[in-house]
Amino acid sequence: MTPVRLYRARVFSPIADPFANDVASSYVAYEDGYVAVDEAGRIAAVGEWSSEVAQEGDEIVDLGRGALLTPGFFDTHLHAPQLEMIGSYGGHLLEWLNRYTFPTEAKFRDPGHARKVATAFFDELIRHGTLCALIFSTIHAEATDIFFEEAERRGFRGIIGKTMMDRNAPDFLLENAADSHAQSRELLQKWHGRGLLRYAITPRFAPTSTPELLERAGDLKREFPDAYVHTHISENRNEVEWVHQLFPEAEYADVYDRYGLLDEKSVLAHGVHLSDEELDVLRARGSRIAHCPNSNLFLGSGLFPLHRILDAGVVVGLGSDIGAGTTPSLFTAMADAYKVQQVQNVSLSPFHLWYLATLGGARALSLEGETGSLEVGKSADFLVLDCGATPLLALRGGRASSMEDLLAAFIFIGDDRAVREAYVAGRRVSF
């Protein structure tokens, strides 16, 4: 056996979907456990600690009982350029886009600005425990390149795309369909599959796309079927109404489907107001929904019908949707997902929530074979959480009667102070 590094701590990891399986067999939990990481950055073993688990030559890192080792979080939808406009209050979606979002995104014409925000953006994500994310850039190719470069520099697992848009926005944020295609193609060829990075073909949403732009996006998807598609769907009732006007004879999901933009690598943000027929289309294509509860509350978009969507057979991940979401924290995303279901008379357990933020997110991004849980053979992508990070966490976590209750403490009162260390592919990532 080649030597490994053994991290000894409390360990918790989802290993299956608790929405579809017996909850008790959907995770592993060890009060005194360990994770062994090999030299290639893969998980070599996970289990209950004992003096026999270490072999000659292994390095033991004892993190103590105050540490919880768990998979890194997945943010399945957010906008890097909107970090600086978090908390832009007062409007619902369409007004908010015009008043705040478009002027903010226009600043990414300047590569210096893009670099500054990219640095802050990945600092914030990793500091909050997000180690993989599906990210919107702006229409600017150079800014998009900069977001990729910064992700690569950190060893971050990023899926990023240049926003495509050619109507219904101010002139300074519009491009033509041919240029949008050419620039997206160049970025895709440069970055898709380079190390931990992947490319997402990213038409902003139907209302800012002409039929020609969607046609060009579909051309890209046909040329590079392995690439992701990342867009928005059915977030806000006025938006849905607008799509019906712009694309008569089609429901929202059909618009994307018509242009060949829906398959299992397609991730659609929100899906708050989808019809049963649209859910049938998404299920048939295998497309995923990124549920962004914090954003849905902030913009007053509506209450996500989680069980209706899961029961229709559509895979769901969690997203922060910065900057309509007000924090990069997946702890908060879990807490808000809980509250959004509570007001609809559904109580999600910490096991369900933690699954959505980790393995469920990996599944939404088609990465569950590689990452998302602490299982032998997967990439060693994990967090070291500090159970005593704040006086309140120490107090609340200290009286936790079970792993389930400890997870609840992190979900409802955890924040970036709870993330002590982060590892991707066995390598520590900085923040």
Residues forming the site for ligand GUN (CB under 6 A): 79, 93, 97, 101, 204-205, 232, 235, 295, 321, 324
Query: What is the smallest separation between the CB atom of 322 and Zn ion, expressed in angstroms?
Result: 8
Tokens representing 108 are 């990414």
How far is residue 163's CA from residue 160's CA, in Å, rounded to a whole number? 9
- Beta-carbon count within 10 A of 114 CB: 26
Inter-CA distances, 223 with 133, 140, 218, Å: 24, 22, 9
Cα Rg of the chain, angstroms? 21
Of these partners, Zn ion, ligand GUN, none, which one is at the site of residue 396 (CB under 5 to 8 Å by kind)?
A: none
- Name the residue nearer to Zn ion (CB basis): 46 or 173: 173
- Name the residue nearer to ligand GUN (CB basis): 13 or 180: 180
166 beta partners: none
393 beta partners: none
Q: How many residues bind Zn ion (CB under 5 A)?
A: 2
Of these partners, Zn ion, ligand GUN, none, which one is at the site of residue 352 (CB under 5 to 8 Å by kind)?
A: none
- Name the residue nearer to ligand GUN (CB basis): 124 or 386: 124
Query: What is the smallest separation between the CB atom of 215 and Zn ion, expressed in angstroms?
Result: 23
Of these partners, Zn ion, ligand GUN, none, which one is at the site of residue 205 (CB under 5 to 8 Å by kind)?
A: ligand GUN
Query: What is the smallest separation between the CB atom of 68 and ligand GUN, expressed in angstroms?
Result: 32
Query: What is the smallest separation between the CB atom of 428 and Zn ion, expressed in angstroms?
Result: 30
- Beta-carbon count within 10 A of 52 CB: 6
Helix axes 111-127, 141-154, angle to 10 degrees: 40
- Build a one-symbol-per-residue string for 256-295: x at contacts with Zn ion by CB under 5 A, - elsewhere: -------------x--------------------------
Query: What is the smallest separation between the CB atom of 270 and Zn ion, expressed in angstroms?
Result: 7
Query: What is the smallest separation between the CB atom of 107 and ligand GUN, expressed in angstroms?
Result: 14
- Name the residue nearer to Zn ion (CB basis): 269 or 279: 269
Q: Which of 17, 166, 278, 321 binds Zn ion (CB under 5 A)?
A: 321
**Inter-residue contact 216 to 224 (CB < 8 Å):** no
- Name the residue nearer to ligand GUN (CB basis): 101 or 144: 101
Q: How far apart are the first and last CA of the chain?
A: 33
Q: Can you spell out the DSSP letters for 276-334?
A: HHHHHHHHHHT-EEEE-HHHHHHTT-----HHHHHHTT--EEE---BTTBS---HHHHH
- Name the residue nearer to ligand GUN (CB basis): 292 or 384: 292
Query: What is the smallest separation between the CB atom of 205 and ligand GUN, expressed in angstroms?
Result: 4
- Name the residue nearer to ligand GUN (CB basis): 130 or 296: 296
| Residue 402: exposure state from Cβ atoms within 10 A (0-12, 13-18, ≥19) | exposed
Query: What is the smallest separation between the CB atom of 95 and ligand GUN, expressed in angstroms?
Result: 12
How far is residue 427's CA from residue 40's CA, in Å, rounded to a whole number? 10
Residue nearest to ligand GUN (CB): 324
Angle at alpha carbon of residue 267, lines to 342 and 241, rounded to 5°: 75
- Name the residue nearer to ligand GUN (CB basis): 77 or 185: 77
The residue with tokens 């150079």 is 142
Residues of the shown chain interacting with Zn ion in the complex, contacts defined by CB under 5 A: 269, 321
